[in-house]
Amino acid sequence: MAATQEIYLLHLALFFIGILSNASATVFTLQNSCSYTIWPGTLSGNGAAVLGDGGFALPPGATIQLPAPPGWSGRFWARTGCNFDGAGNGKCTTGDCGGALKCTGGGAPPVSLVEFTIGSGDAAKDFYDVSLVDGYNVGLGVRPSGGSGDCQYAGCVADVNGDCPKELQVIDGGGAVVACRSACAAFNKPEFCCTGDHATPETCAPTQYSEIFKNACPTAYSYAYDDLTSTCTCTGSDYLITFCPTT
């Protein structure tokens, strides 16, 4: 009888641990508001849990919820124009991650990113941002819910591809602009990449190209040192991540 009681108590303890774990998890809801299927990619940092197996298909209008443990850090992005076989091998027109459905690395630029570092305690702040430092492929927005603090909306609602300078454009086989490269990727010069003699905030200023991104998307990172208006914080929140958000 004692052994049976111990097993019962163990199961009960595990049950409550599970409840507490789920209660403290941050829930990311990914929503596809694009008119076409996208294949979100996920990348976890610092050995954190891999969310959504690294990547999956998300049809128009669909949503998926991905819980993340305290202390999780990583990024999400959209892949477009993908074609995968039954084994998950294939290629995407934008945001490809090594020809695999389930990403083990980041998306190939140009790609719009949302980045998170989740607090590891009840009162610890989450840090998040939308980044166009690696260029732009689709619109992206992040809306916190249920948290406290500044908790501002961050994102890029504008169609940057429609206003992308010719020298930054990525064209598909049909002649359509499917992505807009960063000036760093296009020209590989220190003043655009914030490297070499331009590797500090004091020596790497906005350029005519980064200002195109910033004017279109004021709350998104436009270049490496665009911290002041682009890093957001919130405490104890869940997050809605919308691809192709509308105003």
pLDDT tens sequence across 90-128: 999 999 999 999 999 999 999 999 999 999 877 899 999
- d(C-alpha 164, C-alpha 243), whole Å: 19
Q: Which amino acid is at 145?
A: S
Lowest-confidence pick of 51-55, 88-92, 128-132, 228-232: 228-232
Q: How many CA atoms lie within 13 A of 164 on its CB side?
A: 25
User: Which residue is associated with the tokens 């959504």?
Assistant: 52
Q: Are strands 238-243 and 26-32 parallel, antiparallel or unpaired?
A: parallel
Q: Tens of pLDDT along 174-215?
A: 899 999 999 999 999 999 999 999 999 999 999 999 999 999
Lowest-confidence pick of 2-6, 66-70, 110-114, 154-158: 2-6
> pTM for this one?
0.87
Residue 158: exposed, middle, or buried by beta-carbon count in 10 A (0-12, 13-18, 19+)? middle
Q: Is the pLDDT of residue 1 over 70?
A: no
Percent of residues, the chain, with pLDDT higher than 70: 90
All domains in the chain, ordered by first residue: 27-158+218-243 (2.60.110.10)
Phi, psi of 93 (to 5 degrees): -65, -40
Q: Is the pLDDT of residue 75 over 80?
A: yes
Q: Which amino acid is at 141?
A: G
Q: Which amino acid is at 80?
A: T
pLDDT of residue 50: 93
